[in-house]
């Protein structure tokens, strides 16, 4: 019965609604990889706090108290945070296995951070301009504009429209991208552990899906920056793509 299914709370694009956000993508990939039936409940940014606050404690000491992904498991269990969800699901559904703390985990996290930080101006402005509904756009003006110290339009002008700004962002991501390529290729691919899937695959796969959802220009710039290494990222992307559904109405 539908009411007995797990519910994944995810942030939609504007109509027609599709997933795009990389943190919720991790849980979507996880549930599909584990073969767990679920349905999607879409929450625009301003709806996240009001929907979750009766069920989960806020994130301590953080200006953002409630985030997605979150899931609702029949029996009235709510879990917020992609990693907490992954640990819980690994306990309730040990098969197929999904090792989380692999030897790649810490170097992977550091590389992913170093890739994403210089790209923030690119993806914040393009998510705002291309993907979000007007409701979520209004929320981003209140939260991401102070974060970036400028309007979304200024951010886009500086990091996307201005080709020098665009090139500078991708250039800064190039070295950690080379590190990520080496880590992903180390055991022969398509996954970080070779033929076995582990948590970093779902996280990195989510980021590649996110780039793709923003646009061919973004995924294309990433792959160009990866140079000859682009094939290993494309193999991972195709390796996780089959787990990216479950939202279609």
The span from the CA of 179 to the CA of 202, in Å, is 18
Please select the residue that binds ligand GSH; options are 68, 126, 197, 214, rule is CB under 6 A.
68
Give the x-and-dash track for 142-181 against ligand GSH (CB under 6 A).
-x--------------------------------------
Helices within the chain (DSSP H only): 22-34, 45-52, 82-92, 105-126, 134-148, 152-156, 163-185, 199-214, 216-226, 230-241
The span from the CA of 30 to the CA of 240, in Å, is 10
Please select the residue that binds ligand GSH; options are 69, 176, 205, 225, rule is CB under 6 A.
69
Answer whether 244's CB lies under 8 Å from 21's CB: no
| Residue 19 binds ligand GSH, judged by CB under 6 A | no
Enumerate the β-bridge partners of residue 78: 72
Least gap, CB of 131 to ligand GSH (angstroms):
12
Least gap, CB of 76 to ligand GSH (angstroms):
20
CB count in 10 Å sphere of residue 196:
14
Least gap, CB of 23 to ligand GSH (angstroms):
4
Please select the residue that binds ligand GSH; options are 8, 9, 20, 21, rule is CB under 6 A.
21
Q: 8 by DSSP, 3-state: which?
A: strand
Instruction: Work out whether the CA dihedral 234, 239, 242, 247 comes out positive or negative.
Output: negative
Please select the residue that binds ligand GSH; options are 13, 32, 40, 82, rule is CB under 6 A.
82
Options 33-41, 63-71, 150-158, 220-228: segment touching ligand GSH (CB under 6 A): 63-71
Kindly list the residues in this chain that would bind ligand GSH in the complex (CB under 6 A): 21, 23, 45, 48, 64, 67-69, 81-82, 143
């Amino acid at each position: 019965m539908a009411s007995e299914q797990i519910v994944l709370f995810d942030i939609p694009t504007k109509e027609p609604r599709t997933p795009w956000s990389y943190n919720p993508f991790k849980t979507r990939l996880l549930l599909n990889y584990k073969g767990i039936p679920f349905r999607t409940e879409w929450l625009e940014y301003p709806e996240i706090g009001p929907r979750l606050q009766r069920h989960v404690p806020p994130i301590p000491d953080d200006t953002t108290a409630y985030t997605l992904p979150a899931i609702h498991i029949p029996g009235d269990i709510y879990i917020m945070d992609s990693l907490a969800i992954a640990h819980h699901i690994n306990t309730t559904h040990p098969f197929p296995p999904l090792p989380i703390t692999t030897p790649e985990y810490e170097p992977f996290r550091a590389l992913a951070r170093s890739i994403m930080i210089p790209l923030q101006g690119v993806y914040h402005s393009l998510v705002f301009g291309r993907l979000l509904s007007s409701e979520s756009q209004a929320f981003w003006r209140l939260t991401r504009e102070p974060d970036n110290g400028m309007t979304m339009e200024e951010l886009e002008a500086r990091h996307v429209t201005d080709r020098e700004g665009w090139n500078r962002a991708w250039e800064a991501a190039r070295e950690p991208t080379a590190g990520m390529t080496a880590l992903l290729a180390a055991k022969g691919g398509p996954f970080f552990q070779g033929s076995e899937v582990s948590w970093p695959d779902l996280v990195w796969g989510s980021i590649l899906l996110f780039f793709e959802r923003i646009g061919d220009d973004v995924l294309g710039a990433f792959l160009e920056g990866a140079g000859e290494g682009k094939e290993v990222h494309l193999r991972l992307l195709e390796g996780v793509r089959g787990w990216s559904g479950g939202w279609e109405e």
